[in-house]
């Protein structure tokens, strides 16, 4: 019995102790949570500006701290372990109270607008493993107390305004843990404080670019043998290239030493030892040594550099001699930059064996000889810059084979011969500059008709002759044309008025004659016009004076005559713009005033008599002819209607452009016949503004008819808006309009029928699209590239800048070749160019509008809408970039952004970001399983597809950043997607990769 009592006693005692411990643990946990809450509220008090969503649920009644936006807690203790408020547009200072969060392991406040200094108290959060304060407005010196964070693995303080020296405590105290250091893009000074006893053995990434660091690279950096990425660009570092230090970094992948003061060995005469040291770096991918003081010749052992090397920069140095043929051994090179050196000799023909080359810069040297015709055999070449050399001979016809060529710079050489018409086959060419050469002959119509030119055409300072080709009017996307200093003759074609994106036109110093066409003055974006030193005559067009955009104007040394007013667009001009035209007079300062006309009585009487005689004649003959002309003009109007209905007044209000594109007439009755009376079986889609029906016209043309719902209050505006966009934008990745049909009670757009339906059908239909199976990854990359090109055109190159506002899979249609076309501009916004503050006729009625719920207009579809739109921000190109990013993530994950199985109300973007970068494997495997490409049979190819998926995820995350200013623009997105598309489009590219990987 006693034993039983003893056992019971000790059992109760043990239970009591356990309860005490549990109670104590609960009190400790509650204390930690309470302390974390107080620290966060103090931090919140230092924020002076933020959006409602940025600090969602913070300090809300009854909401646990672990449910606050940007907070992650420990599963058991419920202590805050992660504070991630990156990209939330927060303004204010960083409170020292964050030091009270003892369990914090991750602190990410990057990409905001925090000011002031970094609180030294952060150094007391000893468990911190990740610290990111990048892309803010922080200033002052880096606190040495941060050196106390001995468990720190990752620190990013880049892109701030930090100054003074880097504290030595940082590099020395982090020795055992730190893997990633980014202090780039600040104004840090002094030497790298790395002593021999400070061994950063785990360091893999060191980014110190764009500071003011001085001295030599410290030898102690050689202890970081695991370094993969070393970026010391844009500092004031000196000494010989750090050969001995780099020898100890066998895993180095990216080495950036450009824009410093490094020299080569043996008194700045020998680069061979440095290249020899890098020969065994099998992982090296990019090497940048540009803009230093490097001397010597390019050694023969440049061909022994790692075969994986994809980019080589040696520009802006003092390197002389010839380009060795051994450079052709670098078969993986995609970018070669040897510009701005002292190189001579010819361009080696072996250079053309490097089939992966995409960008070649050899400009500003003393290279001579002819252009190798074999350059036309480089299948991926997108940029070729051979300008400012001494090259001679003619431009090879083989350049027509460069199907990917976007930019060709051959200016300031001694090239002769004629411009080969075959250059017109370079259908992706955006810039062509052949200026300052000895080129003669005619300007070929094939080249003048290059519709792909988006930036500029420069053929000035040559010996071109003959007339300006009418085909030049096809360049409706080009921004600048310079044909000056040639021997061009004949008249200036009035058709140049069709170059509706043109901003700069220079036709000076030729022998052009005749009048200056008024259509040039009607160009909506024309900023500068120079036709000086020609034989032009006649009066200056009034349209030039009325131009709201014209800023620079020169018609000097011609034979112009007549009155010149100092009003309108001429109000800021001086006499220098009109010199050498003795028959000009007017009110421009210092210009000869025009003589007053004398009135004679007999002239007045004669005018009255003529008018009395003319009136009866007009009533007999003129009025019927005028009525007939008006009737014909009405029939050709863009608004087509039945004989018993009309909407002419609305048409006049809806379209203010002076230039009409006349479209074929299709009546309401014909549409009824084509669609079977708009029966249900013809319905192929529906949206907020109406339904889309398929149909076949009598001539067998297959059409899609978008019928707008007349019951909607804003349907008229939507109709006019979509007509505006479809009429004025022309791009292969934008849906074109066949015609429209408009009645008071019926409005429809007639579009081509896309045989492969919408992207949404392919993504979510078990059998894929209408005519094919599920899309594989190569096709999806191509489609995304098409979409990016189309939207980039709307944002940056369209005659009228457009924000689409509703980018999603159902608004992306696929033709028979699976080329993507962006459609549905019902809620798009026509916006002003940021450089143009004038009251442009194209933009005055359709300036960007706010998208808040207060005006009843939602700019986009749920799941794709940029977060700033929910705060009443105006429609912007950045909003389209966000939607494109969602589209990319949707394609990769296979999850609709409106049907996301996420917890806590997070978005698709946030969910993917929570897996990046270490937990992406499930997403990647799922994407490859859904969109498996033909031919995935080997590990190298499988790895290629995995890398492509990762790049797409990264691009999607970049585009969906909360801060609009940190998103890339659509031109950059299109360039990146084009690179991926090209990389995947060539089977030989994949085979080379497989072979090289298998060999290594």
- The residues annotated as belonging to the active site are 806
Strand-pairing partners, residue 80, are 73
Strand partners, 416: none
C-alpha distances out from residue 423 to 396, 411, 444, 895, 982, Å: 9, 16, 9, 45, 21
Map tokens 């000889």 to a residue.
369
In order, the DSSP letters of 416-474 are -S---GGGGG-TT--EEE--SS--EE---HHHHT-TT--SEEE--SSEEEEEPPGGGGG
Q: Taking Cα atoms as reference points, which of 985, 902, 916 lies closest to residue 956? A: 916
According to DSSP, the residues that pair with 803 across neighbouring strands are 829
**111 to 156, 356, 640, 644, 698: CA distances (angstroms):** 11, 36, 52, 61, 58
**Sheet bearing 440-441, strands edge to edge:** 440-441, 463-467, 487-491, 511-514, 535-538, 559-564, 583-586
Contacts of 700 (CB under 8 A, 6+ apart): none
Distance from C-alpha of 411 to C-alpha of 433, rounded to nearest angstrom:
6
Token reading at 841: 């006729």
Helix (H, G, I), strand (E, B) or coil at 168: helix
> Is 706 marked within a binding site?
yes
Which among 414, 404, 356, 365 has a CA at the least distance from the CA of 385?
365
Q: Which two tokens stand for residue 659?
A: 């230039």
- In the numeric block, the tokens 């030039």 are attached to 544
Residue whose entry in the numeric block shows the structure tokens 């009854």: 62
Q: Give the closest residue to 780 by CA, choosing from 768, 791, 770.
A: 768
Q: Are 208 and 229 in contact (CB under 8 A)?
A: no
**541, 545, 548, 549 alpha-carbon torsion, rounded to 10°:** 70
161: Cα separation from own chain's centroid:
26
- In which residue are the tokens 């050709």 written? 636
Q: Rounded distance, CA 53 to CA 68, Å? A: 11
**Angle at CA of residue 88, ends 86 and 91, nearest 5°:** 105
Element (H, E) at 650: helix 648-654
Helices (H), 100-184: 168-173
- Angle at alpha carbon of residue 313, lines to 311 and 315, rounded to 5°: 155
The annotated binding site is made up of: 706
The annotated binding site for ATP is made up of: 706
């Amino acid at each position: 019995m006693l034993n039983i009592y003893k056992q019971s006693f000790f059992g109760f005692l043990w239970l009591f102790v356990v309860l005490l411990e549990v109670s104590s643990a609960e009190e400790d946990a509650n204390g930690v949570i309470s302390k974390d809450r107080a620290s966060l509220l103090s931090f919140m008090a230092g924020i002076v500006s933020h959006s409602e969503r940025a600090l969602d649920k913070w300090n809300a009644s009854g909401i646990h701290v672990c449910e606050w936006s940007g907070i992650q807690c420990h599963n058991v203790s419920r202590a805050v372990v992660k504070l991630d408020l990156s990209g939330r547009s927060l303004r204010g200072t960083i409170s020292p109270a964050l030091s009270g969060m003892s369990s914090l392991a991750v602190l990410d406040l990057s990409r905001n607008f925090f000011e002031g200094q970094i609180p030294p108290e952060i150094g007391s959060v000893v468990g911190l493993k990740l610290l990111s304060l990048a892309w803010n407005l922080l200033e002052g010196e880096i606190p040495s107390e941060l050196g106390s964070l001995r468990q720190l693995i990752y620190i990013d303080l880049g892109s701030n305004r930090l100054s003074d020296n880097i504290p030595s405590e940082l590099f020395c105290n982090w020795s055992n843990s730190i893997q990633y250091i980014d202090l780039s893009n600040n104004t840090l000074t002094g030497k790298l404080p790395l002593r021999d006893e400070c061994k950063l053995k785990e360091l893999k990434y060191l980014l110190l670019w764009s500071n003011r660091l001085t001295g030599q690279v410290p030898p102690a950096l050689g202890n970081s043998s695991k370094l993969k990425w070393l970026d010391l660009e844009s500092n004031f570092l000196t000494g010989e290239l750090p050969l001995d230090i780099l020898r100890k970094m066998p895993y180095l992948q990216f080495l950036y030493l450009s824009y410093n003061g490094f020299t080569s060995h043996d008194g700045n005469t020998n680069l061979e030892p440095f290249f020899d040291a890098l020969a065994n770096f099998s992982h090296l991918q990019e090497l940048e040594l540009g803009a230093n003081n490097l001397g010597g010749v390019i050694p023969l052992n440049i061909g022994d550099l790692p075969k994986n090397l994809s980019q080589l920069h040696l520009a802006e140095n003092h390197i002389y001699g010839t380009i060795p043929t051994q450079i052709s051994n670098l078969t993986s090179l995609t970018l070669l930059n040897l510009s701005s050196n002292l190189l001579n000799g010819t361009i080696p023909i072996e250079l053309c064996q490097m089939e992966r080359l995409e960008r070649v810069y050899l400009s500003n040297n003393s290279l001579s000889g002819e252009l190798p015709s074999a350059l036309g055999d480089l299948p991926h070449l997108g940029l070729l810059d051979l300008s400012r050399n001494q090259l001679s001979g003619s431009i090879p016809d083989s350049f027509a084979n460069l199907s990917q060529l976007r930019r060709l710079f051959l200016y300031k050489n001694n090239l002769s011969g004629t411009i080969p018409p075959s250059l017109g086959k370079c259908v992706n060419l955006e810039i062509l500059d052949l200026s300052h050469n000895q080129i003669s002959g005619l300007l070929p119509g094939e080249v003048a008709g290059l519709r792909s030119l988006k930036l500029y055409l420069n053929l000035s300072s040559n010996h071109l002759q003959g007339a300006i080709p009418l085909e030049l009017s096809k360049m409706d996307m080009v921004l600048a044309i310079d044909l000056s200093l040639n021997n061009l003759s004949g008249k200036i074609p009035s058709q140049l008025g069709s170059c509706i994106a043109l901003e700069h036109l220079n036709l000076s110093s030729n022998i052009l004659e005749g009048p200056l066409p008024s259509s040039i003055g009607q160009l909506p974006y024309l900023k500068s016009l120079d036709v000086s030193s020609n034989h032009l005559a006649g009066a200056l067009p009034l349209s030039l004076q009325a131009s709201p955009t014209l800023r620079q104007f020169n018609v000097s040394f011609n034979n112009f005559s007549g009155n010149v007013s100092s009003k309108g667009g001429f109000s800021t001009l001086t006499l220098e713009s009109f010199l050498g035209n003795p028959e000009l007079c007017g009110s421009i300062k210092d210009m000869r005033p025009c003589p007053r006309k004398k009135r004679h009585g007999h002239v007045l009487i004669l005018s009255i008599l003529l008018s009395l005689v003319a009136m009866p004649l007009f009533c007999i003959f003129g009025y019927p002819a005028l009525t007939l002309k008006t009737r014909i003009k009405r029939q050709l109007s863009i608004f087509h209607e039945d004989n018993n209905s009309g909407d002419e007044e609305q048409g006049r209000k809806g379209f203010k452009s002076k230039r009409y594109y006349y479209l074929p007439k299709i009546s309401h009755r014909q549409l009824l016949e084509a669609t079977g009376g708009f029966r249900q079986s013809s319905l192929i889609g529906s949206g907020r503004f109406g339904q889309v029906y398929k149909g076949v016209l009598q001539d067998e043309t297959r059409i899609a008819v978008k019928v707008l719902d007349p019951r909607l209050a804003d349907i008229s505006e939507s109709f006019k808006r979509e007509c505006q966009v479809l009429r004025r934008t022309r791009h292969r990745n934008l849906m074109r309009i066949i015609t429209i049909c408009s009645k008071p009670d019926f409005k429809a757009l007639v579009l081509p029928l896309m045989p492969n339906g919408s992207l949404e059908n392919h993504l979510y239909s078990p059998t894929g699209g209408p005519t094919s199976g599920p899309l594989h990854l190569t096709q999806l990359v191509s489609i995304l590239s098409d979409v990016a090109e189309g939207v980039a055109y709307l944002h940056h190159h369209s005659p009228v800048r457009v924000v689409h506002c509703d980018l999603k899979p159902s608004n992306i249609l696929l033709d028979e070749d699976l080329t993507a076309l962006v459609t549905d501009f019902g809620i798009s916004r026509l916006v002003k160019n940021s450089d143009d503050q004038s009251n442009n006729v194209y933009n005055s009625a359709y300036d960007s509008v706010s998208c808040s719920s207060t005006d009843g207009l939602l700019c986009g579809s749920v799941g794709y809408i940029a977060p700033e739109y929910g705060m009443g921000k105006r429609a912007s190109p950045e909003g389209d970039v966000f939607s494109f990013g969602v589209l990319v993530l949707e394609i990769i994950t296979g999850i609709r952004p409106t049907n996301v199985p996420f917890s806590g109300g997070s978005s698709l973007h946030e969910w993917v970001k929570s897996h990046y970068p270490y937990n992406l494997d499930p997403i990647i495997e799922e994407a490859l399983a859904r969109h498996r490409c033909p031919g995935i049979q080997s590990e190298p190819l499988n790895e290629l597809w995995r890398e492509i998926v990762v790049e797409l995820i990264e691009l999607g995350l970049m585009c969906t950043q909360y801060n609009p200013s940190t998103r890339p623009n659509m031109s950059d997105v299109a360039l990146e997607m084009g690179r991926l598309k090209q990389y995947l489009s060539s089977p030989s590219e994949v085979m080379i990769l497989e072979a090289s990987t298998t060999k290594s």
